[in-house]
Chains A and B, each alone.
Chain A
Amino acid sequence: MTRRVAVFAALVIFCCASGGMAAELEYYKVYKPETGMTADEIMQIVYHNKYSLFARDYDLPESEIFYVDPSGLVRTKLAERYRKVEGGSNDIQYKDLVVVTHPTSVKGLAILTWTFQNPERDQDVWLWIPAIKKVRKISASEDDDAFMGSDLTVEEVSTRRFEDETYRLIGEKDFDGYRFEHTGEMKFQGRPCFVIEAEPVNPHWYYAKRTVWVDKEMGGAIFEEYEDRNGDIFKTIYREWDWYTQGDLRYPTQNAIECKDQRTGHRTVVLNKNQKYDEGLDDSTFSLRTLQRSKW
């Protein structure tokens, strides 16, 4: 209740100051969408949760990525991921380190990313490729590029911002459920959600519209449908959210993603395991020195 009041108060203050725009949410706080909020306010919480800006750091020691071809061929990548939320210090929102551990052909590949608070600003990206044995500063990928060859684009994983779209609240509905193809289980059936329609600010973008189902309890986008100019759905993304609890901490966390290209039938499944928050990750973890430690 206290939290709800705080969010409301913050929103009111910001709306008064900025002529109706949604408020910037504070770092290191957990927000929950509530009935009565605007689409903008709900989506800000969605982004806040997507990038775990509620926590000081994030430790994902094991992430499995499956590339599932309609022919049945499955390729696998394994990775570790670490994130430190900088809270806007030097304009940096968070620093991210991803280390690929499988397959052997890309084992040891490590990517250090600085993501800035300014939404107009590209990420700074350093890459350690064990095969060339040096740290390379690389240009940020285009936002509509495939992320590590998956069905997800770069912006769907890490660069899309609240400011990149306009939002309309369609209503509040119970989710029909999603058949998680990886296990065959039905997920989130009957779950109360906000349904939000999002249109990209760039009129020539790779999608014309997406419909987002936001879980009311956790504030995470659990299902997205991407439409092209003809109104045909060409991609769906399912995200499995759950609560992470450790002592007094209670954070919404993503355990799984399943992204399916409806045109080709190819899908990408991401399983996140043993995630931890607020472990006190050292600044040195996000340095070029750490990148170089990656062998292979």
Chain B
Amino acid sequence: MRKICILGVTAAVLALAWAGLAAAAEPVSRFVDKVLPFENLETAGYFKNETALSLAGFDEFYKILNIVDFKANYKFNDRVELFGEIKLFYDAVYDVEGSYRDLVNKEKNTKLQLPVKTEWIRQAFLDVYMDRVDLRLGKQQVVWGTTDGVRILDLVNPLDYREWTLNEYPEMRIPLWMANVETELNPNSHIQLLLIPDYQANYYPPAGSPYAPRTVVIGAESANQPFVTVTTIDEKPSRNLENTKIGLRWRNVVEGGYLSGLEYTLNYLHTYDFASSAYTRTTVNINPFGPPDIQVKLTRRAEQIEVIGGSFSKSITEGIIGDLGKGWTVRGEYAYIANGAMNYGTDKNIVGTVDVDQFNYAIGLDKVFLTDLQFSLQFIQLIAHATEDFDKSQYTLLFGPTRGPLDKVENLITLKLSKDFMHERLKPEVLIIYTDDNDWRISPAVSFELNDNWMVASGLHIFEGDSAHLHGEFDKVDQVFFETTYSW
């Protein structure tokens, strides 16, 4: 009943807001212009509601998220600008669904219902444009690589997995305070230097929330066993000069010749792993007069890693033979990650932790077919190699988010098809992700632009597979979602 009331009120508020705002053209932007009457100030923003509920029975909400986003750019002159973005949210599901309400009451700072600390500052930076140098100082995201929806070289910012990977990556990335300097060697060749004193770990939602990874759930179950006491120690790099992360990228676009239009990068990143490695030490104290006392000391350590990688993209503008290949874009990226660490053991059970190097790469193919049908296919391989010995006859490396066995080589294929109709107002699309463990995610969606300000969208996220794998762990969270956005 409570759910129905809240939903009814939400629907009524949205309907009233829509009617009111539709009656007056862009009232929010006019209001903002009045309140902030600065000639060189440009603003934009949106209100958004995202609601998702269980596809099985439509009886459980996974989110009733309400967002207010506000961006502003102040231009001091042609060379200096200040940009900021504030994002506030309230997820009503933690008041509507009993189990989630209990979770928020039990665990403070879950970050799931409301932003905590300064998380509401999504971006805040000063831009200085010089003739051959761009300087961006402040809280920001930096994206490397050419792959969509899968992380190979995009390792500068940590991620927020509150909705696993259903959110768009710019929403998932946790912005960091850094200095970002891009120098132009010539108009087609640039060197980027990143100095990042800030550190934050990836965020994984707690057990009991809709998208709690299996490893978190297993950990919580273990901690709740009788006679077990778990002590967790987080070893994070402190924010000082010594721990400053450094990134370097050289990017070049070939102009002229057979490879004209080829864009490639070479990247280096000296950083800390945002997914902490878990080191456990268990002590069992036998009590002759009672149950044993089991002490588990869990140390989560951010390993210092080195990343060497690169990326490329090239459109085939002239057919290879005749028109063969013409119109395709080929893109790819790779990353060699040295000095990382992973757990090993059996499904659900960690035996130990070993040093691991990883080599990950992706190849993508894009083309526009027929009339505006966008086709995008990606093939990804993730290869983990332990550089320390462990008993491979009994154990395997474990996949971090699920604590399930990790193959020596994990293969993924993603396919995205999209098209638009009605002068780009109606946009259907489907994203399919398949991994070689017969593990799937299918996400069809459709969005419709009502006018310049209002957009509605709806779709499904369907997970399929074994719980030890990337998507199968959320097999029970199949959902239908609805989004309404008012932007100004």
Question: Could you list which residues of chain A lie within 8 angstroms of chain B, going by C-beta atoms?
Answer: 67, 69, 73, 75-76, 89-92, 102-105, 107, 114, 116, 118, 120-126, 131-142, 144-146, 148-151, 266, 283-284, 286-289, 292-293, 295-296
| Bound-complex Cα distance A281 to B473 (A) | 54
How distant is the Cα of A142 from the Cα of B488 in the complex, in angstroms?
32
Q: Which of B57-65, B297-305, B449-457 makes up part of the contact surface?
A: B449-457
Are A107 and B44 touching (Cβ within 8 A)? yes
Closest 8 CB pairs of A and B: A149-B424, A90-B256, A137-B313, A124-B261, A104-B487, A122-B317, A283-B187, A134-B143
Contact A90 B487 (CB under 8 A): no
16 pairs, CB–CB < 8 Å, chain A vs chain B = A118-B318, A120-B318, A121-B317, A122-B326, A123-B317, A132-B169, A134-B143, A134-B146, A135-B263, A139-B366, A141-B372, A146-B423, A151-B423, A284-B131, A289-B184, A292-B134
Nearest to B326 among chain A residues (CB) is: A122
Please indicate the chain B residues that have their CB under 8 angstroms from the CB of A131 in the complex.
168, 170
- Min CB gap A241→B, angstroms: 26
| Chain A neighbourhood of B44, CB < 8 A | 104, 107, 296
Q: 15 extra interchain contacts, Cβ-Cβ under 8 A, other than A104-B488, A132-B170, A137-B261?
A: A89-B256, A90-B260, A122-B318, A125-B315, A131-B168, A133-B141, A139-B327, A139-B328, A139-B329, A139-B368, A142-B368, A151-B423, A287-B188, A295-B73, A296-B73
Q: Out of B45, B255, B331, which one reaches A137, CB within 8 Å?
A: B331
B370 at the interface (CB under 8 A from A): yes
Assembled-state Cα–Cα distance A222/B76 (Å)? 42
Which residues on B sit within 8 Å (CB–CB) of A75? 423, 425, 449, 451-452
Residues of the A chain whose Cβ atoms lie less than 8 Å from the Cβ of B184 = 284, 287, 289
B129, B187, B328, B485: most-surrounded residue (chain A CB, <10 A): B187
User: Are A288 and B318 neighbours in the complex by a CB distance under 8 Å?
Assistant: no
**Is the beta-carbon distance between A140 and B317 smaller than 8 angstroms?**
yes
CB distance from B194 to the nearest CB of A (A): 14
Nearest CB in chain A: distance from B233 CB, A? 34
Task: Using A122-B326, A141-B372 as known contacts, say yes or no to A103 and B487 having CB atoms under 8 A apart.
Answer: yes
Q: Which of B105-163 contact A (CB under 8 A)?
A: 127, 129, 131-132, 134, 141, 143-146, 148
- Which residues of chain B are near A283, meaning CB under 8 Å? 187
- B residues with a Cβ closer than 8 A to A are 44-46, 71, 73, 83, 127, 129, 131-132, 134, 141, 143-146, 148, 168-170, 182, 184, 187-188, 190, 251, 253, 255-257, 260-261, 263, 313-318, 326-329, 331, 366-372, 420, 423-425, 449, 451-453, 455, 485, 487-488
Which residue of the partner chain B has the closest CB to A141? B368
A91 near B260 (CB under 8 angstroms)? yes
Measured CA separation A296–B313 after assembly (Å)? 24
* Min CB gap A70→B, angstroms: 12
Residues of A within 8 A of B488 (CB): 104
Q: Whole-angstrom distance from the CB of B119 to the nearest CB of chain A?
A: 18
Contact status A114-B423, CB under 8 Å: no
Q: How far is the CA of A148 from the CA of B423 in the complex (A)?
A: 8
Q: Note all chain B residues with C-beta closer than 8 A to A121.
A: 317-318
Interfacial chain B residues near A289, Cβ < 8 Å: 134, 182, 184, 190
* Chain A residue contacts of B168, Cβ below 8 A: 131-132
B70 CB → nearest A CB, Å: 11
Give chain A residues whose Cβ lies under 8 Å from the Cβ of B329: 137-139
Task: For B367, list chain A residues within 8 Å (CB).
Answer: 139
What is the CA–CA distance of A75 and B368 in the complex, to the nearest angstrom? 25
Max chain B C-beta neighbours (<10 A), residue from A107, A148, A286, A289: A289
Q: Is the CB of B190 within 8 A of A126?
A: no
Contacts A132-B170, A136-B146, A149-B424; A124 near B134 (Cβ below 8 A): no
Minimum CB–CB distance from B460 to chain A (whole Å) comes to 21
- Contact across chains for A145 and B368 when beta carbons are under 8 A apart: yes
Residue of A nearest to B453 (CB): A103
With A and B bound together, what is the CA distance between A143 and B187 in angstroms?
28
Rounded to whole angstroms, the CA-CA distance of A54 and B331 in the bound complex is 36
Distance (whole angstroms) from the CB of B87 to the closest CB of chain A: 13
User: Bound state CA distance, A296 and B420, in angstroms?
Assistant: 23
| Complex CA distance for A292 and B140, rounded to whole angstroms | 13
Q: Whose C-beta in chain A lies nearest to the C-beta of B147?
A: A134
The answer to whether A144 and B261 touch across the interface, beta carbons within 8 angstroms, is: no
CB–CB B187/A287 < 8 A: yes
Q: How far is the CB of B8 from chain A (nearest CB, A)?
A: 28
Bound-state Cα–Cα, A9 to B449, Å: 54
* Complex Cα gap A142–B485 (Å): 30
Determine the chain B residues whose CB is within 8 A of the CB of A123 once the complex forms: 317
A200 → chain B closest CB, angstroms: 16
List residues of chain A with CB within 8 A of the CB of B253: 288
Q: Which residues of B contact A122 (CB under 8 A)?
A: 315-318, 326-327
In the complex formed, the residue of A with least CB distance to B182 is A289
A89 to B256, CA, bound (A): 8
By beta carbon, the residue of chain A nearest B169 is A132
Partner of B256, one of A91, A141, A145: A91
| Closest chain B residue, CB of each to CB of A135 | B263
Q: Return chain A residues, CB-CB under 8 Å to B141.
A: 133
CB <8 Å contact, A288 and B190: yes
| Chain B, residue nearest A131 (CB) | B170
Shortest distance between the CB of B79 and any CB in chain A (Å): 11
A116 touching B317 in the complex, CB below 8 Å, given contacts A140-B327, A293-B127: yes
Which of these, B144, B255, B314, contacts A90 with CB under 8 Å?
A: B255
Separation of A296 and B190 alpha carbons in the complex (Å): 23
Give Cα A139–Cα B261 distance, bound, in whole angstroms.
12
Q: Is the CB of B182 within 8 A of A114?
A: no
Residues of B within 8 A of A142 (CB): 327, 368-372
**CA separation between A120 and B317, bound complex, in Å?**
9
Shortest Cβ distance from A120 into B: residue: B318
A293 to B83 CA separation, bound complex (whole angstroms):
11
Q: Which residues from A are CB-within-8-Å of B251?
A: 288
> CA A150 – CA B423 in complex, angstroms?
6
Residue pair B260, A124 in contact (C-beta under 8 Å) = yes
Give every chain B residue within 8 A of A105 (Cβ-Cβ).
Answer: 449, 455, 485, 487
- Closest Cβ of chain A to B80, distance in Å, is 13
Q: Are A288 and B263 in contact (CB under 8 A)?
A: yes
Q: Give complex CA distance A265, B418 in Å.
A: 26
